[in-house]
Chains A and B, each alone.
Chain A
């Protein structure tokens, strides 16, 4: 069984029309797809406006957020030097860290997962260690990595790495272990050598599982980076939020939260899209 993500963005399924020749836009269908989320969003904003407008509210209502943080919303890429940058630049800094840590986690994770999935011996040796380490919360790794690397930047990358790697390992191993005997027998009859077996049978057969792991991994990476940057400081969306909190710019925090949510959503969709391209719609069942 693949490990499924717990805390992911819920995506409302959007209807896709198959025909290419659309002479008239199907207003009914578009309306049916767009109206419910728009309605919910409108209601949420309305409630927020009502409750945050009371004088003893600690949070600003949407209107205040828009007026106070309009420059943040309108100019995501300004750079006044130091830490005074647009949100777009902070997000980019965070994304860079995630890209590095996640890429490492993907490479090492798929490698280790393959090893553990293919070999009973490695499985017995490594699995207990994995099972213990994977329950360690991402931020608990931060002090250790700061001690080891003596610098914020590599520590943040390490935290991403160590957070994202477990679902990748575990799902890859599950995928490798679940390769049907039939495929193995086909490989044996045509006498594929181990390298050919790896690239032509193992990887494609396990790909749906691997991508399940990669998708959970990217979600966890994004969760972890925001938290890690709050502690490390310097740049990044997490740092921005912490900095805004220290300067009591609550409106800025709220705008930043939207950024975090949207970027996380896009990352998730991106990995899932690449996955569907690579696996040609083969699904984990």
Chain B
């Protein structure tokens, strides 16, 4: 029998505050293959970050199980590196030292020279080597996000978890970074789970788009397979029927069947 790389089976999450319990996620089952790029999309507050944190092991599941290569996920670890919604670089460390902190810990057995190569390699990959001695406060939002990605990649995670990595960026920077991430995914063939709000971003980057219903007790509403070969070129895509089909499917799901209730 074929075993999946990352498996979520009947995962649920409830938060307890005093006597109230809020059920945020219910019965989520999903399998992700090695090397796959999966996007999670859903309205704000439906529980996307919560789901990502469950996979990361940062919060424990209330129900069900998360398996990565047949091992239970019950604590955070560098094999599931996260790029957080707001970059979360440490402001007192330089770009280089931010990555070094992770590399020194994850690759503690290697020599200092080998670790340095790792750091520079990943900085080159996101084209940030020129700013290695700058502090996070001295670089732009897009650059910070790139450093965050480099830090996560430097751990060589089994699954790279991205929580709206481009959410806070302007359209141009965002497009540029999307292309970079696509490129990196092509080069490293790594497994990625990405949260997004952006339909075009989801279709551009993903093999599959997982759509969550509105909370409370959000679950998977529908999954769209994007059958487009990589590398994808954003300009050429626009006119392709498969692209239009996927885009429509996601838009329909989000704006017709699962309207953002509070906004109405």
Contact = CB atoms under 8 A, between A and B. Distances in A.
Contacts of A201: 90
Interface string A175-213: 000001011011011111000100011001101000000
A183 B135 contact: no
A192 B90 CA distance: 14
Contacts of B101: 190, 200
A34 B124 CA distance: 50
A186 B88 contact: yes
Nearest to B92: A204
Contact of B58 (A185, A200, A205, A280): A185
B88 A190 contact: no
A69 interface: no
Interface in A229-246: none
Contact of A185 (B77, B82, B105): B82
A190 B105 contact: yes
Contact of A279 (B58, B80, B90, B92): B92
Interface string B128-157: 000000010000000000000000000100
B81 interface: yes
Contact of B88 (A183, A279, A280, A282): A183
A282 B92 contact: yes
A207 B58 CA distance: 26
Nearest to B94: A280
B76 A185 contact: yes
B65 to A, nearest CB: 20
B106 interface: yes
B78 interface: yes
Chain A, interface residues (CB within 8 Å), range: 10 to 19
Contacts of B102: 186, 190
B57 to A, nearest CB: 8
A189 B80 contact: yes
Contacts of B77: 189, 191
B78 A182 contact: no
A192 B105 contact: yes
Interface string B79-114: 011101010101111000000011001100000000
Nearest to A280: B92
B56 interface: yes
A191 B80 CA distance: 11
Mostly, the A contact residues are helix
Contacts of B155: 189-190
A204 B93 CA distance: 9
A207 B76 contact: no
Contact of B90 (A188, A196, A204): A204
B259 to A, nearest CB: 31
Interface in A38-90: none
A72 B25 CA distance: 77
Nearest to B87: A182
B78 A188 contact: no
B92 A188 contact: no
A182 B102 CA distance: 14
A141 B79 CA distance: 55
A180 to B, nearest CB: 8
A183 B88 CA distance: 6
Contacts of B86: 182
B84 A185 contact: yes
B92 A207 contact: yes
Contacts of A200: 101
Given A192-B105, A280-B135, A186 B90 contact: yes
Nearest to A186: B88
A200 B98 CA distance: 11
Nearest to B97: A200
Given A182-B88, A185-B76, A190 B106 contact: yes
Nearest to A192: B105
A279 B92 CA distance: 7
Given A186-B90, A204-B90, A280-B92, A196 B105 contact: yes
Contacts of A205: 90, 92
Contacts of A180: 88
Contact of B81 (A189, A196, A204, A282): A189
24 contacts: A182-B84, A182-B86, A182-B88, A183-B88, A185-B76, A185-B84, A186-B88, A186-B90, A186-B102, A189-B80, A189-B81, A189-B155, A190-B78, A190-B102, A190-B105, A190-B155, A192-B105, A196-B105, A200-B101, A201-B90, A204-B92, A205-B92, A279-B92, A280-B92
Given A190-B106, A190-B155, 7 more contacts: A186-B90, A188-B58, A188-B76, A189-B58, A190-B78, A191-B76, A192-B105
Interface of B: 56, 58, 75-78, 80-82, 84, 86, 88, 90-93, 101-102, 105-106, 135, 155
Interface of A: 180, 182-183, 185-186, 188-192, 196, 200-201, 204-205, 207, 279-280, 282
The 3 closest A-B pairs by CB, nearest first: A182-B88, A188-B76, A204-B92
